[in-house]
A and B are shown apart, each in its own frame.
Chain A
């Protein structure tokens, strides 16, 4: 009789016990990342990695990240390898993170080239990829729920405000000079389309290889077309070479726009000097752009203060982009019901459009592409003898009037 009662109780309680026991929490949340300590992407990859590393250190100092799936704080373990800017090695190392280290999620290295190999691998291994700065539209396809772009909108969206600014200022003689890569070509296409819709055809429209290092002939070609505005879209090395050659040529345009003074101002200052950067237009990004009404994570001032104190390194946009990827991961873990990638992706969908970090509004579309941020137009202006970034368009967020036409430099 007692045996029967015991069996009955076991049958009754074992399922209840199984249901009531929460899954065992892991000792650490494993995040896989790559960085390039050498090669052409090192100068951009390292600050991005340092930003992510700083977020991990900050979170672990406070006992770990709050993981909703387990209802407790769990430390982060960052597993990172050096790909030396080589895509083939990057592929092996992403694969190592997915198959050997069994990471819970991946953080891609800087830019589209080093992100490209991670996209199919993350998909085939069903692991969520946090894409920090790989803005190529090719990565975001309807059948792939395993990717989320965290920091920048896809590059095709970037020049939207710039086009509106040019149209608003009634500038009609525009020269478009761009590097022929995914990143710049998609910007050129958007700009061309928007200008055409406003009845403006660029007086000069020319693509050059991404490794172009001499722009002198091109600048004189643009001057011969009597362009008022020159929009140069390139990578940092292109922007540097273009601005150096512009300075050497003595040619003056009413408006000069380049991409990277707004992201890597120190690097640009070091290479081309303050003088040629004065009155240059760009896309300002944090820390040169200060977002207001932040509702998640530290303010820009707090971040700069703690980052520089702890690391003795300078903050640039890529540092913030890396740190911001950490914040998005943190919010994902705080809100996702499980660590399964699709559950995390659903959690991201729920807070998308609702959080604003020091990097701006985080909002992604159904394919994981960032659409929340818009890049305003900024101008580097000289105020009290110092170079200062001012937002000049759109009008509702402007901090100063655009100086147009730009004053001729005094020699």
Chain B
């Protein structure tokens, strides 16, 4: 039902509200929040460098479009695979935990940014001079692709939550040692969740790059992308399907509403919202429903 409502909303809203860029970004952050939810909400690992996968996807897809003349759809999928490849390289980071994992992950994303933006690699990555994709520019097709990615992320997240695999991840989140002793293959389950999460960020980054068609390394490796995704998950409620959706809808909606109507109060209002969340709703908006005994999907 959540998936159906989301699809209907993004199919029909453009007929009444035509700021497609805003709707695209909203879908993108919803997909990223779900991707982050898979690794953070279900296993408890918080990757500060989640944007690294997003950037890897944007560049992976753009480079095959430029050099191999791929059409955008397979290129978006390849962007996801590029992020999975980066995710595989980073699997050893799971030897760390808590803040150490988060910081190491952030450093890895920064390293990736500097590799991509290195002027000596300009012949391969276009370096700091940015990517331009006028040959495939098609914002409508990119919009529907982003909707498909969001649907995929929602179905995946929903299935994981209800499945045996999702329960195994929940056990890892609570106590990895006990989970291991109960027969859960911690290393394999965590790696699968990590790579699925990376894939969602990668395809989202690829679709974003296609949608805007001109971007620089700092655009797709901007730390604010990770920060937004984390805040949206926390605000809505991690470990649920609905939480990241509601979090993105409310906070990203407020972000744009305030930014457009009263930009002078932007930082103040947004800061207050987050302080109130931390003080009174540390488990997110969906915890309000759970406290009343309502099952939140």
Contact = CB atoms under 8 A, between A and B. Distances in A.
Interface of A: 37-38, 81-82, 84, 86-89, 91-96, 99-100, 113, 116-117, 119-121, 124, 138, 141, 143, 180-182, 185, 207, 209-210
Contact of B216 (A38, A89, A93, A116): A116
Contacts of A180: 117, 119, 127-129
Contacts of A91: 21, 25, 212
Contact of B218 (A89, A100, A113): A113
B137 interface: yes
B21 A92 contact: yes
Nearest to A87: B219
Contacts of B219: 87-88, 113, 116
A37 B265 CA distance: 12
A302 B18 CA distance: 43
B214 A117 contact: yes
A96 B22 contact: yes
Contacts of B216: 87, 113, 116
29 contacts: A37-B263, A81-B260, A82-B263, A84-B259, A87-B215, A87-B219, A87-B222, A88-B222, A91-B25, A91-B212, A92-B21, A92-B22, A92-B256, A93-B259, A96-B19, A96-B22, A96-B260, A100-B17, A113-B218, A116-B216, A117-B212, A119-B214, A120-B134, A120-B137, A120-B213, A143-B134, A182-B130, A185-B129, A209-B117
A95 B128 contact: no
Nearest to B20: A95
Given A116-B214, A182-B129, A207-B119, A99 B222 contact: no
Interface of B: 17-22, 25, 114, 117, 119, 127-130, 132, 134, 137, 139, 212-216, 218-219, 222, 224-225, 256, 259-260, 263, 266-267
A126 B105 CA distance: 42
Given A88-B224, A116-B130, A124-B139, 18 more contacts: A38-B267, A82-B263, A86-B222, A87-B219, A91-B25, A92-B21, A95-B20, A95-B21, A96-B21, A99-B18, A99-B19, A100-B19, A116-B214, A120-B134, A120-B137, A120-B213, A121-B21, A182-B129
B128 A93 contact: no
A162 B145 CA distance: 48
A298 B267 CA distance: 38
Contacts of A207: 119
Given A95-B20, A141-B134, A180-B128, A82 B259 contact: yes
Contacts of B134: 120, 141, 143
Nearest to A91: B21
A180 B218 CA distance: 13
A209 B21 contact: no
Given A92-B21, A121-B21, A141-B134, A116 B260 contact: no
Contact of A81 (B18, B129, B132, B259): B259
Contacts of A185: 119, 128-129
Contacts of B130: 116, 138, 182
Given A120-B137, A120-B213, A93 B260 contact: yes
Contacts of B128: 180-182, 185, 209-210
Given A81-B263, A94-B21, A209-B117, A138 B132 contact: yes
B148 to A, nearest CB: 21
Nearest to A116: B214
B224 A86 contact: yes
Nearest to B26: A92
A141 B214 CA distance: 13
Contacts of B139: 120, 124
Contacts of B259: 81-82, 84, 89, 92-93
Contacts of A113: 216, 218-219
A79 to B, nearest CB: 10
Contacts of A37: 263
A381 to B, nearest CB: 35
Nearest to A183: B129
A120 B130 CA distance: 15
Nearest to B117: A209
Contacts of A93: 259-260
Contacts of A94: 21
- Rank and list the top 9 A-B pairs by shortest CB-CB distance, nearest first: A95-B21, A180-B119, A82-B263, A99-B18, A116-B214, A180-B128, A92-B22, A207-B119, A87-B219
Given A95-B20, A138-B132, A210-B128, A116 B263 contact: no
A6 to B, nearest CB: 44
B248 to A, nearest CB: 14
B19 A82 contact: no
A95 B127 contact: no
B91 to A, nearest CB: 29
Contacts of B17: 100
